[in-house]
């Protein structure tokens, strides 16, 4: 560093040299990202890591990539995206993404498939979800839809059943809402068939506005999706209908108590972001999206600074194509932002994993094992469950230092006791 006389490499627009802070951040981010690569390469080999050492030496010498592309906002056919989770992961891989968060609307049903595909392509999946909520001022004078992104560890949310019920209620509300939109369209003499919308949404997928918009397009009532929104479906529009979404604060609190990171999605879509950010910060919000494919938005960057929030971002890729869509991986977090995110998230995830493990240690039942392995695809043998859990799940997510952390170590010892008995 600091050698000015060294020749600069000119290759497709030379990048500025990294600062010492960026280099350190990159090293730390890489260490975490490469845990997944190691695990992916070993691909569920039952004999991996025969010793009881939780993390093999090789991981510490994992190759350092020069740039780590994070895309922390994407959708699949499990909500209103166009690609299956595995096709999405494949596309992410083609676009050079190393860490992908699948954040379908109000469901985590695509996570297991995404994780399986990620194993094949050697990229890391952060299990996520984008929760539909409503923000209203205390006097209820104004309301607006707010999306909150949640990011979890490889074991998913703590208190999963409670969290799952929370999402189920939102999804159920979407059926009622879609029906209301159709009856409004009917009154506007733009009839769309319910069966058509359900078919577009796909098997078991709760219908959303985009599905209704596609049905409008296919019925020939509009020329493109944009027109469907501009004319009928925009917030407060003639065919718009509110769902039964929870209050934004409630969703943030739910994410916090289940071991997730709560991030406000696309604040540029709000009429007024300030009251939303200020109230949600009080509820426990961790971050706010600031980066888009057209760069960093200074208004939201300043807002993040003012409220001490993480600066986040992702492509919000749906796979619908067209020139308005940012491609997967096009909104990569700068390394310092990725580092800040992991710095906040990792202790929260570690605690969540520990709590899920402790529950299993207290009662090593199938049900509690399922809480650990919910999103996993690797088999847990009946003879040595604890060792399998360590090999197949914890290695994906925790470094040696994290596993050896004082409060975690006691849990690990108890877990190994179960393995012996």
Residues in contact with Zn ion by CB under 5 A are 130, 147, 265, 316
Nearer residue to Zn ion within complex by CB, 318 or 378: 318
Contacts (Cβ under 8 Å, ≥6 apart) of 281: 307, 308, 309
Tokens 């071991």 — which residue? 259
SS3 140: coil
Minimum separation from the CB atom of position 74 to Zn ion (A): 8
Closest CA to 204 of 107, 321, 277: 107
What single DSSP character describes residue 382?
Answer: S
Nearer residue to Zn ion within complex by CB, 316 or 402: 316
Nearer residue to Zn ion within complex by CB, 113 or 130: 130
148 forms bridges with which residues in the sheet? 131, 264
Beta strand 310-313 with 287-292: parallel, antiparallel or unpaired?
Answer: parallel
Beta strand 295-296 with 124-136: parallel, antiparallel or unpaired?
Answer: unpaired
Minimum separation from the CB atom of position 103 to Zn ion (A): 6
Nearer residue to Zn ion within complex by CB, 34 or 148: 148
Minimum separation from the CB atom of position 320 to Zn ion (A): 12
Contacts (Cβ under 8 Å, ≥6 apart) of 145: 132, 133, 134, 135, 235, 245
**Helix H or strand E encompassing 414:** helix 406-420
Nearer residue to Zn ion within complex by CB, 129 or 386: 129
Closest CA to 76 of 123, 21, 30, 115: 115
The 3-class secondary structure across 297-310, one letter per residue, is: CHHHHHHHHHHCCE
The Cα 327–Cα 72 span in angstroms is 13
* Ramachandran category for residue 215: left, alpha or beta (phi over 0 → left; psi -120 to 50 → alpha): alpha
Minimum separation from the CB atom of position 149 to Zn ion (A): 8
Q: Is the dihedral of CA 267, 305, 259, 65 positive or negative?
A: positive
Minimum separation from the CB atom of position 110 to Zn ion (A): 13
Minimum separation from the CB atom of position 155 to Zn ion (A): 23
HSE-up (13 A, CA, CB side) for residue 211: 28
Nearer residue to Zn ion within complex by CB, 81 or 376: 81
Nearer residue to Zn ion within complex by CB, 35 or 83: 83
126 forms bridges with which residues in the sheet? 101
The Cα 180–Cα 176 span in angstroms is 6
Minimum separation from the CB atom of position 23 to Zn ion (A): 32
Nearer residue to Zn ion within complex by CB, 102 or 335: 102
* Ramachandran category for residue 101: left, alpha or beta (phi over 0 → left; psi -120 to 50 → alpha): beta
Nearer residue to Zn ion within complex by CB, 130 or 245: 130
Nearer residue to Zn ion within complex by CB, 225 or 361: 225
Minimum separation from the CB atom of position 265 to Zn ion (A): 5
Minimum separation from the CB atom of position 75 to Zn ion (A): 6
The Cα 289–Cα 309 span in angstroms is 10
Minimum separation from the CB atom of position 130 to Zn ion (A): 5
DSSP string, 262-294: EEE--GGGSS-HHHHHHHHHHHT--EEEEEETT
| Cβ-closest position to Zn ion | 147
Nearer residue to Zn ion within complex by CB, 106 or 130: 130
Minimum separation from the CB atom of position 266 to Zn ion (A): 6
**Helix H or strand E encompassing 55:** none
């Amino acid at each position: 560093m600091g050698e000015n006389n060294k020749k600069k490499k000119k290759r497709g627009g030379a990048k500025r040299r990294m600062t010492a802070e960026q280099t350190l951040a990159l090293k730390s981010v890489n260490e975490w990202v490469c845990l997944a690569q190691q695990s992916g390469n070993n691909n569920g080999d039952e004999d991996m890591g025969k010793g009881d050492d939780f993390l093999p030496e090789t991981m510490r010498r994992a190759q350092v990539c020069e740039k780590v592309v994070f895309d922390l906002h994407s959708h699949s056919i499990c909500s209103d995206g166009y690609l299956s989770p595995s096709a999405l992961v494949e596309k992410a891989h083609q676009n050079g993404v190393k860490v992908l968060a699948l954040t379908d609307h109000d469901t985590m049903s695509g996570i297991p498939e995404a994780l399986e595909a990620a194993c094949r392509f050697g990229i890391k999946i952060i299990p996520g979800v984008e929760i539909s909520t409503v923000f209203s001022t205390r006097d209820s004078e104004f309301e607006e839809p707010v999306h909150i992104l949640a990011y979890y560890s490889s074991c998913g949310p703590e208190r999963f059943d409670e969290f799952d019920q929370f999402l189920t209620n939102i999804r159920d509300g979407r059926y009622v809402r879609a029906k209301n939109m159709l009856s409004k369209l009917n009154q506007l003499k733009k009839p769309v068939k319910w069966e058509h919308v359900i078919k577009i949404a796909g098997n078991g997928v709760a219908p959303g506005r985009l599905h209704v918009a596609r049905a409008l397009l296919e019925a020939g009532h509009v020329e493109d999706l944009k027109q469907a929104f501009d004319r009928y479906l925009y917030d407060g529009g003639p065919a718009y209908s509110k769902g039964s979404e929870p209050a934004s604060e409630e969703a943030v609190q739910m994410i916090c108590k289940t071991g997730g990171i709560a991030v406000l999605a696309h604040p540029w879509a709000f009429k007024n972001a300030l009251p939303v950010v200020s109230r949600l910060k009080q509820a426990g919000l961790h971050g706010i999206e600031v980066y888009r494919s057209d760069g960093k938005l200074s208004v939201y960057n300043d807002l993040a600074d003012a409220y001490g929030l993480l600066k986040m971002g992702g492509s919000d890729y749906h796979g619908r194509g067209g020139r308005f869509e940012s491609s997967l991986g096009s909104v990569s977090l700068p390394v310092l932002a990725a580092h800040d995110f992991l710095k906040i998230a990792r202790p929260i995830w570690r605690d969540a994993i520990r709590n899920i493990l402790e529950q299993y240690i207290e009662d090593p039942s199938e049900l509690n094992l399922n809480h650990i392995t919910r999103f996993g695809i690797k088999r847990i043998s009946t003879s040595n469950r604890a060792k399998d859990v360590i090999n197949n799940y914890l290695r994906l997510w925790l470094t040696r230092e994290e596993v050896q952390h004082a409060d975690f170590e006691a849990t690990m010892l108890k877990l190994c006791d179960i393995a012996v008995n």
